[in-house]
Amino acid sequence: MKYGYLRVAAVSPALKVADPACNAARICEAIEAQAAKGTELLVFPELSLSGYTCGDLFLQKTLLQGCMDALRTVAKATEGKRMLVFVGLPVVCEGKLYNCAAALADGKVLGFVPKTHLPNYNEFYEARHFVRGQSAPALAGLWDGLTAPLSTDLLFCAKGHPETRIACEICEDVWVADPPSSRHAQAGAVVIVNLSASNEVIGKREYRKKIVAAQSGKCVCAYVYCDAGAGESTSDMVFAGNDLIYENGALVAEAEPFSTGACEAEVDVGFLIAERRRLNTFGNREGGEGEKYLIAEADFFTDALPEPFVSPTPFVPEEEGTLGERAQLILNMQANALAKRFAHTKAKTAVIGISGGLDSTLALLVAARAFDLLKKDRADILAYTMPGFGTTGRTKNNSLALMREMGVSARTVSIADTVLRHFEDIGHDPAQLNATYENAQARYRTMILMDAANETGGLVIGTGDLSELALGWCTYNGDHMSMYAVNCGVPKTLVKHLVRAEAERLGGGVREILEDILATEISPELLPPDAAGNIAQKTEDIVGPYELHDFYLYRFLRRGDAPAKIYYLARRAFAGRYDDATLKKWLVSFYRRFFSQQFKRNCIPDGVKVGSVSLSPRADWRMPSDASAALWLQEAENL
């Protein structure tokens, strides 16, 4: 397991009912194939050595002994392989017959986990043959005088990795009101495997996925579900081999019904462990649950580098059809939050500074939507363009055009002369294009907006986004401040997609303007333009590409990843787009800026949270302003 990833697979081979030797051979073939791929956890279906549909043949000693012989064959196939394997078979223990999952590693049987909930309805008659599994441990006989523990309360972990615990339940166990996996998770199991034989009927696949997804999410675990498939008897039903792998409620791999091949994925166990630390509602608060379990260790982690799919835009939905729906949901969240603030304060106007950039554009779109919700006249949205030393004709014209198309009140206040007088007052040479030169403009613009809001009984709507807060790319007590910040929970990569979605929805003249804004370089426009009148101060040349910083922010805050893991995943996500030196440069920069700029985040105004990552000091991210970044920088700089 490298960088916290565990390589898992569920395989539903074509079996022969009541032919353990044949089934063992096919399972061994799958083990060899998966070992070649570096799989560390491999799961086969319920009763996979015998076949699930044996009926009363389960009561025959010949079949039972054949299954034990087959288990010996499969166990031998795991020798020398760094892999934990689960196979299903009927097991006799203390004169009773159990439907079991056997855990195998390096030629040994680590233990048997019996099924707890035995269905006895419709086509299923398990209670006719098997007894219910119990937590009290017993010893089941193997061969050559060997025994293995049999208990529902068995956990399996890799040597040297006590936090990575794996537990097992069988088919029906997950369908009941209180699944055993809930208790296993509270005892520390971060991966649950389910050996299943779930027949296929209309609508069951969808319901099965909901059940497994919910359990994975509730238990904050990875869930590997392996379903019986080809070869089972079709006398009364059919099995489709609908294998599933979930991680914290999200589907990461699925075998389509009646398809062949393995269902494979790399699950981020490191993230799951970090998420459990973060959620203080998770786990058995009274303690002691894990003390009841038997723990079996085995060496099944490999040193192979993981190869997971890593999205370069984790804040933006991947599916084309989802983007429009997600965008409208986010815009409605922002608009309803702003509408609530207006209803509470009884404010008369919304005052917004419009720069012709993405953030202020999104804020204006949200404000218009909020006023529509409140049935307020959009003319009471006072949109100010405040051209200064760096304002270009393109951004100013887009600002005015957008105001006109949106039906808001457009106002222009030039700030150049006033800022020059301010420079005289404080003794600043305007030829010095330093922080004073830039920030004086930002602060004066904020003063205009604040005073205009006081004059009209309004609220200043903040435009800054989540990415800017993370990097501290805002002027303290300038654009850093507002009376309500509608974009503070929206990272820059998502801002672009929201504006693009609104362009598609609104169409016409608004669409043309929004598309040009999307095509404009991101800039605060605080430094003079070049000789051709184009933007000279380009934000991403100074602080780095926002797509990288958003990626780093998500992995750092939401996934809890260390610098080395973030760097490795960034190399996969941005392969062919950024070289290693560039990725490292901006990763180091991210940590430096994030830690040094916390003082700005500690006093930000109210704003709406729209996703799982937020930097509000009141609810989501609390960090002292003088916290040291030394540990993170040391790891990042040594990559």
Active site residues: 46, 115, 171
Two tokens, residue 210: 């909901």
179 to each of 111, 137, 170, how far by Cα in Å?
Answer: 20, 19, 10
Q: How many CB atoms lie within 10 A of CB 468?
A: 26
At residue 43, the 3 state secondary structure works out as: strand
Residue located via tokens 């397991």: 1
Structure tokens at 317: 């939905």
Best CA proximity match to 16, nearest among 170, 201, 228, 225: 228
**Residue indicated by tokens 């040193």:** 303
HSE-CB at 277 with a 13 A cutoff on CA atoms is 11
Residue type, position 50, single letter: S
Question: What is the Cα–Cα distance from 89 to 101, expressed in whole angstroms?
Answer: 6
* 61 HSE (CA, 13 A, CB side): 1
Residue type, 617: P
Contact 185, 166 (CB under 8 A): no
Cβ–Cβ under 8 Å, residues 583 and 463:
no
Task: Please give the Cα distance from 576 to 32 (Å, whole number).
Answer: 33
Strands 41-43 and 84-93: parallel
Query: DSSP string of 246-312?
Result: EETTEEEEEPPTT--SEEEEEEEHHHHHHHHHH-TTSS-TT--GGGGSEEEEE-----PPP-----S
Greatest CA separation for the chain: 100
Q: How many C-beta neighbours within 10 Å does residue 123 have?
A: 11
Alpha carbon distance 49, 91 (integer Å): 11
Do residues 49 and 67 make contact, with C-beta atoms less than 8 angstroms apart? yes
SS3 374: coil
